[in-house]
């Protein structure tokens, strides 16, 4: 595909979603400090997105140290920030038009280079992204920049396309030269998302997911599961957090297991670096153009 067209109204909503995502990220970063509650940070960022006239594209996530992504606290979570490497990943939805952005804070004061590796890799990829550029070229730029700092990109995490009510869609935007020669095209929305690590360069899915997404609507026997399925319709296929769900915790967990087993709901477990190396992340949502790209989540 060479190009795609959106109405001016659609583009305005996508730009608004990007702007709100960026503002929410900066607000969240200001809350990340020793002694802060991870749960309170995530709740505050989600509320900020609502206050700015949007809804979360997904639950705000704070992933620490060797956890690369997808950590979202439950309602009873007592985790407190101290000296961790903290990834904050947020997004805003305006009528289904989405933003997705992330940054890393080093609370220890010992890992500034690791934070810079993913941040500068993002800037390098953004500088070359335009219609006609191959996906593996973005991956090569990211890989080279991260390697120049003495770290590795995480090769089984990637950036992604973004669509209306679709946080992750095609294409896959690699963080290394994966030899994918698919071309970017004018009018395409993508998230460029480098991850740098001092570990092995790969992740695995851990246990106890707290982020979920409805992927189908199927008949289920349990009345609790049917009630929960009706409740999650309001998220319109976007990810949601367990702590957002109403009702008795035992019943909610039982209903979720039923919906997962039936194939109605997909889980997103925390993603952990395979050798438990530290991980940094940076991310922008961009609109690809013929002469470059428009960074929708720029500050």
Active centre residues (catalytic): 89, 100, 160, 168, 193, 283
Cα–Cα distance between 286 and 295 in angstroms, integer? 4
Tokens of 87: 């990834």
Nearest 5°: phi and psi at 29? -60, -35
Using DSSP's 3-state secondary structure scheme, residue 110 falls into coil
Cα–Cα distance between 46 and 62 in angstroms, integer? 12
Shortest CA distance to 104 belongs to which of 126, 123, 131, 86?
A: 86
Cα–Cα distance between 48 and 55 in angstroms, integer? 9
State yes or no: cis peptide before 151, omega within 30 of 0: no
Instruction: Give 204's strand partners.
Output: 272
Question: What is the residue whose two structure tokens read 């309170």?
Answer: 40
Ranges assigned E (strand) in 73-222: 85-90, 92-94, 97-98, 101-106, 152-153, 159-163, 166-173, 189-192, 195-197, 203-205, 211-214
């Amino acid at each position: 595909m060479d190009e795609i067209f959106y109405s001016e109204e659609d583009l305005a909503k996508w730009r608004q979603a990007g702007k709100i995502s960026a503002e929410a990220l900066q607000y969240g970063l200001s809350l990340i400090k020793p002694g802060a509650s991870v749960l309170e940070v995530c709740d505050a960022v989600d509320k900020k997105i609502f206050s700015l006239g949007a809804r979360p594209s997904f639950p705000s996530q704070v992933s620490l140290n060797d956890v690369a992504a997808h950590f979202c606290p439950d309602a009873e979570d007592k985790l407190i920030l101290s000296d961790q490497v903290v990834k904050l990943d947020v997004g805003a939805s305006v009528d289904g038009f989405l933003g997705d952005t992330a940054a890393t804070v080093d609370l220890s004061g010992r890992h500034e280079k690791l934070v810079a590796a993913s941040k500068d890799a993002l800037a390098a990829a953004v500088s070359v992204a335009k219609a006609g550029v191959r996906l593996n070229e973005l991956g090569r730029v990211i890989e080279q920049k991260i390697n120049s700092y003495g770290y590795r990109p995480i090769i089984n995490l990637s950036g992604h396309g973004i669509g209306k009510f679709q946080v992750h869609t095609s294409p896959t935007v690699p963080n290394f030269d994966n030899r994918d020669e698919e071309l970017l095209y004018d009018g395409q929305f993508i998230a460029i998302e480098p991850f740098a690590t001092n570990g092995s360069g790969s992740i695995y899915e851990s246990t106890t997911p707290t982020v979920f997404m409805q992927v189908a609507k199927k008949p289920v026997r349990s009345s609790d599961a049917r009630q929960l399925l009706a409740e999650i319709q309001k998220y319109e296929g976007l990810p949601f957090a367990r702590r957002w769900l109403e009702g008795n915790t035992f019943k909610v967990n039982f209903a979720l297991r039923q919906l997962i087993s039936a194939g109605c709901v997909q889980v997103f477990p925390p993603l952990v670096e395979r050798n438990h190396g530290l991980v940094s992340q940076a991310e922008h949502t961009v609109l690809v153009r013929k002469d470059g790209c428009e960074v929708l989540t720029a500050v």
